[in-house]
């Protein structure tokens, strides 16, 4: 995809978002918001969204990356694999790196919302969905700051609850319905496991992080999980836990064992990751 087509795709995504805002989002001076909306392109990595201000006039703006890694699976894999330090970083980057080794393309959100079902990370081979998710993320920032600047919102956290709600509204309309199966949603399954883990943790008496990692706790947690393929992957992981911990067995070995047991590779891959985060931290 050349630069012109990338820019056109971004413009189309933004136009769709603004049409949606026009119909579905309650905003002060909405006509101004839509009419003055400014789209810029970043030729480096990363995107941004917010409001600009000059001589007392404010207008919403986004700057979206046109870097090839955001538009094609190949360059994305390449860029992630060249950063092995991601494997030791925050959980979203660890997953991102591991999945890149598995040839899977992860739309990567911040660690704090990484496992969220509505606004979290997801696996997809469709570059349109990756771009649309980025646009939704940044347009949500623009709406949020528009509300703040008009004194209609006191929540000024950039990725706080107001922004999350706005982002979820856009994601639920433009992205989530098209990430249909559990396998392709990938992180959604992990999200359920993480949510269950949180529930289990909160009902237990407070314990230090080290104590939580004692041998017995993960086994108890695993009994609460859903059945079927997910359960099977976790069982296989539990069975091989000592070997995984000691490095005798790699991620690849475990996933191969799962595939041999008749489990879909995508499910095996994401559930292995969820198990690892849940069990080994
Ligand atoms: Zn952001």
pLDDT tens digits for range 189-239: 555 555 556 666 666 555 444 444 444 444 433 333 445 777 888 889 899
For residues 267 and 270, what is the distance between their CA atoms, to the nearest angstrom? Answer: 5
Q: How far apart are CA 114 and CA 111, in angstroms?
A: 5
Q: How far is the CA of 261 from the centre of ligand 1 (A)?
A: 40
Ligand 1 midpoint to CA 160 (Å) = 10
Closest CA to 281 of 32, 90, 76: 90
Contacts of 43 (CB under 8 A, 6+ apart): 65, 66, 67
CA of 234 to the centre of ligand 1 (A): 33
Query: What span, in angstroms and rounded, lies between the C-alpha atoms of 212 and 209?
Result: 5
Q: Which residues of the chain fall short of a pLDDT of 70?
A: 180-227, 281
Say how many Å lie between the CA of residue 39 and the centre of ligand 1. 16
| C-alpha separations of 168 from 105, 114, 117, 173 in Å | 21, 13, 10, 8
Element (H, E) at 256: helix 251-260
pTM as predicted: 0.68
What's the gap in Å between 49 CA and the centre of ligand 1? 7
Number of Cβ within a 10 Å radius of residue 256: 14
Consecutive H or E run containing 4: helix 3-24
Helix (H, G, I), strand (E, B), or coil: what is residue 74?
helix
Q: Rounded to whole angstroms, what are the CA distances from 257 to 99, 104, 124, 156, 240?
A: 17, 19, 24, 48, 10
Element (H, E) at 59: strand 57-65
Q: 199 alpha carbon to ligand 1 midpoint, in Å?
A: 27
């Amino acid at each position: 995809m050349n630069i012109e087509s990338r820019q056109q795709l971004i413009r189309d995504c933004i136009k769709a978002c603004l049409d949606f805002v026009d119909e579905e989002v309650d905003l002060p001076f909405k006509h101004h918001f839509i009419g003055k909306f400014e789209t810029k392109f970043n030729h480096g990595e990363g995107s941004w969204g917010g409001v600009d201000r000059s001589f007392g006039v404010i207008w919403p703006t986004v700057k979206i990356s046109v870097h090839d890694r955001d538009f094609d699976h190949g360059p994305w894999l390449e860029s992630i694999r060249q950063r092995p330090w991601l494997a030791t970083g925050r959980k979203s980057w660890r997953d991102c790196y591991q999945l890149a080794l598995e040839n899977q393309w992860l739309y990567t959100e911040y660690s704090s919302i990484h496992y969220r079902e509505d606004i979290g990370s997801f696996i997809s081979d469709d570059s349109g969905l990756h771009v649309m998710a980025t646009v939704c993320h940044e347009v949500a920032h623009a709406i949020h700051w528009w509300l703040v600047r008009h004194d209609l919102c006191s929540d000024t956290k950039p990725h706080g609850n107001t922004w999350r709600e706005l982002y979820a509204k856009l994601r639920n309309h433009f992205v989530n319905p098209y990430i249909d199966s559990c396998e392709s949603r990938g992180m959604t399954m992990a999200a359920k496991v993480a949510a269950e883990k949180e529930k289990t943790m909160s009902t237990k008496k407070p314990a230090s992080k080290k104590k939580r990692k004692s041998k017995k706790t993960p086994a108890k947690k695993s009994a609460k999980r859903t059945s079927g393929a997910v359960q099977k992957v976790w069982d296989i992981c539990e069975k091989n836990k000592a070997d995984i911990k000691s490095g005798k067995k790699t991620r690849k070995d475990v996933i191969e064992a799962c595939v041999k047991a008749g489990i879909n590779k995508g499910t095996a891959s994401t559930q292995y990751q969820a198990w690892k985060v849940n069990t080994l931290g």
